[in-house]
Amino acid sequence: EPEVTQTPSHQVTQMGQEVILRCVPISNHLYFYWYRQILGQKVEFLVSFYNNEISEKSEIFDDQFSVERPDGSNFTLKIRSTKLEDSAMYFCASGDTTEAFFGQGTRLTVV
């Protein structure tokens, strides 16, 4: 069964450093998303991406965040200068016109 794959599963970074979270969506999907879940809280939408551009972004997705799909398969989320409050589980999802599938998540810890 096809699945969304995220790497790494856990990343620890120092405050102020740049991180790139990687996702390989399901191959025939057209819609891509990043969500965030701070420990013990609900899952929050960050950004959606379609046709090589951002469709929608939340207020959380400020200038420190960017997304791209550099090679037609990977879908990345970059945080330019991490803050302590960026520590969270980050989920990538991809979808067709019927449902969205989530990856297993990347746990980001900023120290």
Partner 1 sequence: AQTVTQSQPEMSVQEAETVTLSCTYDTSESNYYLFWYKQPPSRQMILVIRQEAYKQQNATENRFSVNFQKAAKSFSLKISDSQLGDTAMYFCAFMMGNFGNEKLTFGTGTRLTIIP
- Calpha distance 17→27 (Å, rounded): 31
- Calpha distance 16→104 (Å, rounded): 26
Pick 11 or 101: Cβ nearer partner 1: 101
CB of 45 to partner 1, least distance (A): 4
Pick 57 or 78: Cβ nearer partner 1: 57
Both tokens of 37, joined, read 């879940």
Binding site for partner 1 (CB under 8 A): 30-31, 33, 35, 37, 41-45, 48, 50, 55-56, 58, 89, 91, 93, 95-105, 107
- Calpha distance 29→12 (Å, rounded): 30
Q: Is 96 helix (H, G, I), strand (E, B) or coil?
A: coil
CB of 11 to partner 1, least distance (A): 15
